[in-house]
Copies of this chain bind each other. A is one copy, B any other.
Amino acid sequence: MKKDSKKKATIYDLSVLSGSSASTVSAVLNGTWRKRRIKESTAELIRGLAEEHQYTANQQARGLRSSRSGLIGLMLPVYDTRYFSSMAQTFEAHVRQRGQWPIVVSSLRDPEEERQMAESLVSYNIDQLFICGATDPDGVHAVCEAAGLKHINIDLPGTKVASVVSDNYQGGRILTEAIIRQFSADDPLKPQELFLFGGKDDHASRERIRGFKDMKRELLGGDFDASIQPTGYSPNMARIAFENFFEKNTRLPRALFVNSSINFEGLLRFMAAHPTETFSDLVVGCFDYDPFASFLPFPVLMMRQDVEGMITKAFELIEQPHAMPQIHLLPPQLVSPRTALPGPLDGIKDAG
C-alpha cells in the first residue's frame, strides 16, 4: 500500500505511526497488553495499524529475546515410506494445531548425522524435538540434554527419556499367527515353510523377531533359526536375500514375514524378475501398512502402526518432567488382505 512495501513493518514503524512506544506496540500485538494496563482504545488503534500494514512479528527477533522459536522438530529416518510420511503428516497437523511450526528433517539412519542435526536444530532454538526411528536415540539425547531441549523418542526407544513405540512383540505374534491361519487345515503350513525377511539389529526388529519366533514355535513347533534373514532396511539387500533363497531352494517359502514396507519393496524387485506363477502360492505378512501393497495378487496381511496414537501420546509425555524414561507401547492393528484404510489425507477438504 505504502511506497515502501518492500520491507516488512516492525513494531518501530507502528510505534511512529501510532504515537505509542515500541514496547506498547509489542505488548498489544503479543497479547500481554492487559497485564501492562494498556488502554483498550490504544490497543485498538495499534491493532488497526498492524492489520493495515500487514504486520507480522519477526520470529527471529522474538526468538532471540525469548530463547524460543515456535519451531518443533521431527527427526525422521526417511520420508519416503507411507509409515514415515504419515508420521510427518500427522505430526504437522498436531504442531500447527498448537500454533507452532513443524520442522522436519531426515537423518538417514546415520548416528553421526543424527547428532549433528540435533546440534543444528538446537542452534535454531527449537522448542521441542521428536526423535523418530533414530539409530542412536541416546546420542541425540546427550545433545538435547546439554542444550536443555525437551525431547522424546518415537518408534525406536532410548534409555534416557520416555519413548513411544509400537508393541512390536505382540504385533509380531499377531502377524505371525494371522499368516499361519491363512493356510487351511488340510494343507497346513510347516515350520520350514515360514520365513522372516528384513530388519536389522534394532529394537523394533528384535521384538518382532521374538514375537515371530515365539508364535511360530507355539503354533508350528520346531525351532528353526535359519528362518530369519535380516537384510537391513534396504530394498536391494532384501531383493538379494530373496534371490539367494530362490536360487538355493528353487522357490520362495510358502509364507513370508516381511519386516517393513522398505523390505517389501525388495520383494517387489524380486517379483519384477520372476513370472507371476512364482507367487501363486504365497502368503505375505508385512509389518507396516501400505494400501497398495494390501491388494497385491497374493494374500498380504499387514500391521498398521498407530501413528496418530503415537504422536498424541508423545505430545502428552514430552511436557512432563521425565520421572522415568519409560517405554510406552501402542498396539498396532492387523489389516486383512485387500483393505483400503482411510489415512491422514481423508481429513482434507477438496471439493474438486
**B-binding residues in A (CB < 8 A):** 5-8, 54, 56-61, 63-64, 69, 71, 78-82, 84-86, 88-89, 92, 101-106, 108-110, 119-120, 122-125, 146-148, 199-201, 230-237, 262, 264-265, 268-269, 271-272, 276, 290-297, 338-340, 342-346, 348-352
- How many chain copies? 2
Name A119's closest neighbour in chain B (CB-CB): B56
Q: Tell me whether A200 and B296 are in contact in the complex, defined as CB-CB below 8 angstroms, given that A56-B119, A338-B271 are known contacts.
A: no
Contact B340 A269 (CB under 8 A): yes
| Contacts A268-B291, A350-B233; A344 near B80 (Cβ below 8 A) | yes
- Taking CB as reference atom, which chain B residue is nearest A261? B292
Tell which of B7, B123, B297, B352 touches A57, judged by Cβ atoms closer than 8 Å.
B123
Q: Smallest CB–CB gap between A250 and chain B, Å? A: 21
Q: Are B125 and A58 in contact (CB under 8 A)?
A: yes
A241: nearest chain-B partner, CB-CB: B352
A103 to B232, CA, bound (A): 28
The one of B59, B82, B296, B344 in contact with A295, judged by C-beta atoms closer than 8 angstroms, is: B296
Complex Cα spacing A233 to B351, Å: 8
Docked pose: A92 CA to B104 CA in angstroms: 9
Contact of A80 among B78, B86, B235, B338 (CB under 8 A): B86
The residue of chain B having its C-beta at the shortest distance from the C-beta of A108 within the complex is B348
Using known A-B contacts A265-B291, A265-B340, determine if residue A146 contacts B54 with beta carbons closer than 8 Å: yes
How far apart sit A21 and B194, CA to CA, in the bound complex (Å)?
Answer: 69
Contact B148–A350 (Cβ < 8 Å) = no
Q: Chain B residues near A84: list those with CB within 8 A.
A: 85
A271 to B295, Cβ gap below 8 A?
yes
Contact between A78 and B109 (Cβ–Cβ < 8 Å)? no
* Cross-chain contact B234 with A352 (CB below 8 angstroms): yes
Known interface pairs A102-B105, A345-B235, A348-B78. Does A58 touch B338 (Cβ–Cβ under 8 Å)? no
Q: How far is the CA of A110 from the CA of B237 in the complex (A)?
A: 41
Q: Which of B79, B147, B199 contacts A89 (CB 8 A)?
A: B79
Q: Which residues of B contact A344 (CB under 8 A)?
A: 78, 80
Cross-chain contact A61 with B64 (CB below 8 angstroms) = yes
CA distance A110 to B183 in the complex (A): 48
A123-B235 contact, Cβ under 8 Å, with A92-B106, A295-B296, A338-B271: no
Q: Roughly how many angstroms separate A151 CA and B346 CA in the complex, as a whole number?
A: 29
- What residue of chain B has the Cβ atom nearest to residue A339's Cβ? B272
- Please judge, given known A-B contacts A123-B59, A268-B291, A338-B272, whether A89 and B78 are in contact too, CB under 8 Å: yes
